[in-house]
């Protein structure tokens, strides 16, 4: 190494820089012609997907999902799909979507025809995606408004809504009833605070309310609270609307829970969290419906003690539903058989055989998949449960509770493409507030300024 002169190295770097300034080579970044597939005709907006018109469509599609239980559920539905469309071959792949989707869309090579994606990420990809408003139009009136709204960007709809994830208040009924608390008395968040106090008097070691310690999930939960108040981080035209009385109200409440020592700060279902839940120290869990998985699999000790009710309202008589998370299916324009992929998702979501197979009893979930409810209202019928009462929740009829909570969810706004990036500011600052290092107003001021400067202004 000692033979290398620093000057030589500098020359080399200079050469590279000089070559760069020639700017004559390097991959072409100006060409961008999405291969128009589907059956777009002259008069139709080439960005809007049209359903295939062949009577017996055929071809191959590639579908990406994340690995895990949902993958197995969707995998099992493919056979049912093929009963209806025998000539469509579905290649179903478990993929590290967060690592791969963007790169695949940018290179445009081997782009899948359909991808399972968190709603929070859809807006970030719209330039690569089919506008689905034409194909979805027959169903739009029957899809939960919040789910349509979060997928709507600039008038186009970019995801086939999959699940609606109403927030619910999970509570350990055995524990709180032993403390003399009547669950029905919890109507507002103030009531919840009072109940938590009462429980702590009964059980001094308790910190009864879950306070999320993960920045990302914490921000997701914050949006659930905000959704109840009919607001969200961005308005319909994508402008930031964080510094509002609504957000201040929510943060002040969270701050209060922490200051009064009524909250268990832990990351969602990490061992620490599970320990507190199992010890009956943490007995209130305002969370999306998918928390119900915990009593079913992760809380053997307190399994059976858990129940769910609609979220408390922020003000007496206010909305008791708010969405937390959720996913949709996106169809990239560069997919080879986007039309056929639409047929697949249409079958999964809007065909009774399809959605029954997805949500109803199956090999993976003998009682049906109960970690979310369909966004499609005809499927989410209170009187026709798709999944069975949950044994780990004292055979409570979760279906009815969730569907009714879902009906109360106010409409939303598209989730902005910078939502994920905002976690670095808002999500982190909420945690700092819970650490006692910031006041609610500081969180709003600071986060709003940072999000505007670092994310929105750099779009």
Partner 1 sequence: MTTITSAPGTRRAGSQLFLAVVTLAFLAPVAWAVISAFKPPTDIIQRPLDLFSAGFTLENYQHMFEDVPIGQGFLNTAIVLVCKGSITMIGAPLAAYGFAKYRFPGRNLIFAAVLVTLMLPVIVLIIPLLLEMKQLDWVNTYQALILPGSVDAFAIFWMRQVITAVPDEMLEAGRIDGCGEFGLFWRIVMPVIRPGLAGLGVLTIMNIYNDFVWPVVAASSTKMATLQVVLSTLAQNISGHRISADYATVTGELLAASSVALIPLLVLFIALQKHFINGILAGSVKG
Partner 2 sequence: MTATAAETARASQAGSMRRWRRSARKWLWPYLFVAPFVAVFVAFSVYPLVFTFRLSFTRWHGTGPAQWVGWDNYGYLLSNPAFWDSLQNSAVLWLLVIPAQMLLALAIALLLNNAALRLRNLYRVAIIVPFVTPLVAVAQIWIVLFDKDYGAINSALGLFGLPEVGWLVTSQWAKPTLALLFIWKTTGFIMIILLSGLQSIDPAYNDAAAIDGAGRLRQVTSITLPLIRRTLMFAVVMQTLAVFQMFTEPYVVTKGGPYSSTTTAGLYLYNHINRADLGTGSANSFLLVVIVMGLSLLFVRLLRPKD
Quickly tell me which residue has 């909305």 as its tokens: 319
Partner that binds at residue 19, options partner 2, partner 1, none, CB closer than 5 to 8 Å by kind: partner 2
Nearer to partner 2, 1 or 184 (CB): 1
Determine if 217 is a binding residue for partner 1 (CB under 8 A). Answer: yes
Residues contacting 383, CB < 8 A, separation 6+? none
19 binds partner 2 (CB under 8 A): yes
CA distances (Å), origin 148, targets 43, 98, 140, 216: 25, 22, 8, 23
Q: Within positions 28 to 57, which residues make up the interface with partner 2, using CB under 8 A?
A: 29-30, 32
Contact (CB, 8 A) for 166 and 376: no
Residue 127 interface partner, choices partner 2, partner 1, none, CB cut-off 5-8 Å depending on type: partner 2
What is the smallest separation between the CB atom of 25 and partner 2, expressed in angstroms? Answer: 6
CB of 107 or CB of 201, closer to partner 2: 107
H or E segment and range at residue 135? helix 133-136
Selected from 106, 140, 316, 378, the binder of partner 2 by CB under 8 A is 106
Please check whether residue 205 is in contact with residue 281, taking contact to mean a CB–CB distance below 8 angstroms: yes
- Taking the complex as a whole, the smallest distance from the CB of residue 51 to partner 2 amounts, in Å, to 25
**Partner from partner 1, partner 2, none binding residue 110, C-beta < 5-8 Å depending on class:** partner 1
Q: Which of residues 298-327 bind partner 1 (CB under 8 A)?
A: 298, 300, 325
**Residue 309 DSSP SS3:** strand
Burial (CB count within 10 angstroms: exposed 0-12, middle 13-18, buried 19+), residue 32: exposed
Q: What would the two tokens of residue 146 be?
A: 């919040």
Strand-strand pairing, 114-118 and 160-161: unpaired
Please identify which residue in 13, 44, 79, 316 interacts with partner 2, judged by CB under 8 A: 13
The total of other beta-carbon atoms located within 10 Å of residue 167's CB is: 29
38 with 50: CB under 8 angstroms? yes
371 binds partner 1 (CB under 8 A): yes
From the list 87, 133, 92, 132, the residue with the least C-alpha distance to 112 is 92
Radius of gyration over every alpha carbon of the chain, rounded to an integer in angstroms: 24
Distance CA 445, CA 189 (A): 24
The yes or no reply on residue 361 touching partner 2 (CB under 8 A) is: no
Q: Which is nearer to partner 1, 72 or 190 (CB)?
A: 72
Contacts of 160 (CB under 8 A, 6+ apart): 132, 136, 328, 329, 330, 331, 342, 345, 346, 349
Check if the beta carbon of residue 233 is closer than 8 Å to that of residue 239: no
Q: Which of 45, 93, 142, 177 binds partner 1 (CB under 8 A)?
A: 93
We find the least distance from the C-beta atom of residue 21 to partner 1, in angstroms, to be 16
* Alpha-carbon span 365 to 392, nearest angstrom: 14
For partner 1, which stretch binds (CB under 8 A), given 61-69, 241-249, 354-362, 411-419? 61-69
Enumerate residues 6+ apart whose C-beta is below 8 A from 208.
195, 196, 199, 200, 262, 263, 264, 281, 282, 283, 284
- For partner 1, the binding residue among 34, 50, 57, 66 (CB under 8 A) is 66
Member of 47, 216, 253, 394 binding partner 1 (CB under 8 A) = 216
22 touches partner 1 (CB under 8 A): no
Q: What residues from 116 to 135 belong to the interface with partner 2 (CB under 8 A)?
A: 124, 127-128
| 72 touches partner 1 (CB under 8 A) | yes
Taking CB under 8 A as the rule, does residue 32 contact partner 1?
Answer: no
Contacts of 148 (CB under 8 A, 6+ apart): 140, 157, 161
Residue 430 lies near partner 1 (rule: CB under 8 A): no
Residue with tokens 């927030």, as numbered in its chain: 167
Q: Count CB neighbours of 45 within 10 A.
A: 12
Interaction partner, residue 70 (partner 2, partner 1, none; CB < 5-8 Å by kind): partner 1
Cβ nearer to partner 1, comparing 72 with 450: 72
Tell me the closest approach of the beta carbon of residue 119 to partner 2, in angstroms. Answer: 17
Minimum distance between the CB of residue 39 and partner 2, rounded to whole angstroms? 23
Q: Binding of partner 2 at residue 17 (CB under 8 A)?
A: yes
Of 16 and 184, nearer to partner 2 (C-beta) is 16
Q: Which residues bind partner 1 (CB under 8 A)?
A: 1, 3-5, 8-9, 11-13, 26-29, 62, 66-72, 93-100, 103-104, 106-110, 118, 214, 216-217, 267-271, 274, 290, 293, 297-298, 300, 325, 371
Q: Which residues bind partner 2 (CB under 8 A)?
A: 1-2, 4, 6, 9, 13, 16-17, 19-21, 23, 25-27, 29-30, 32, 98, 102, 105-106, 124, 127-128, 213, 215, 267, 270-272, 274-275, 418, 420-421, 424, 428, 431-432, 454, 458
């Amino acid at each position: 190494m000692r033979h290398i002169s620093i000057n030589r190295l500098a020359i080399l770097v200079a050469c590279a820089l000089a070559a760069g300034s020639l700017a004559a080579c390097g991959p072409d970044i100006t060409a961008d012609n999405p291969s128009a597939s589907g059956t777009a005709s002259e008069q139709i907006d080439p960005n809007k997907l049209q359903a295939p018109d062949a009577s017996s469509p055929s071809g191959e599609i590639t579908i990406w999902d994340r690995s895990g239980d949902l993958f197995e559920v969707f995998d099992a539905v493919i056979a049912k799909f093929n009963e209806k469309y025998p000539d469509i071959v579905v290649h179903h792949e478990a993929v590290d979507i967060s690592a791969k989707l963007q790169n695949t869309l940018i290179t445009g090579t081997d782009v899948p025809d359909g991808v399972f994606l968190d709603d929070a990420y859809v807006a970030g990809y719209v330039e690569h995606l089919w506008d689905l408003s034409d194909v979805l139009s027959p169903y739009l009136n029957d899809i939960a408004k919040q789910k349509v709204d979060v997928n709507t960007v600039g008038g186009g709809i970019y995801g086939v809504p999959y699940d609606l994830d109403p927030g619910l208040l999970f509570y350990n009924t055995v524990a709180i009833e032993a403390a003399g608390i009547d669950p029905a008395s919890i109507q507002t968040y103030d009531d919840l605070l009072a109940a938590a106090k009462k429980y702590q008097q009964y059980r001094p070691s308790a910190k009864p309310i879950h306070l999320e310690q993960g920045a990302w999930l914490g921000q997701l939960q914050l949006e659930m609270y905000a959704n109840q108040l009919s607001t969200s981080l961005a308005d319909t035209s994508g402008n930031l609307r964080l510094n509002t009385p609504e957000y201040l109200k929510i943060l002040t409440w969270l701050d209060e829970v922490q200051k009064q020592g009524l909250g268990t700060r832990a990351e969602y279902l990490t061992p620490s969290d599970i320990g507190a839940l199992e010890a009956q120290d943490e007995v209130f869990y305002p969370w999306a419906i998918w928390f119900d998985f915990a009593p079913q699999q992760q809380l053997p000790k307190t399994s059976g003690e858990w129940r769910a009710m609609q979220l408390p309202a922020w003000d007496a008589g206010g909305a008791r539903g708010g969405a937390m998370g959720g996913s949709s299916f996106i169809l990239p324009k560069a997919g080879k058989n986007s039309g056929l992929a639409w047929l697949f998702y249409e079958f999964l979501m809007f065909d009774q055989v399809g959605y029954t197979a997805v949500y109803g009893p199956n090999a993976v979930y003998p009682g049906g998949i109960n970690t979310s409810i369909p966004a499609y209202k005809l499927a989410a019928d209170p009187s026709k449960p798709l999944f069975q009462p949950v044994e780990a929740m004292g055979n409570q009829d979760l279906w009815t509770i969730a569907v009714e909570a879902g009906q109360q969810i106010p409409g939303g706004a598209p989730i902005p493409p910078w939502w994920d990036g905002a976690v670095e500011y808002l999500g982190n600052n909420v945690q700092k507030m819970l650490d006692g290092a910031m006041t609610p107003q500081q969180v709003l001021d600071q986060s709003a300024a940072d999000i505007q400067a670092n994310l929105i202004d750099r779009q």
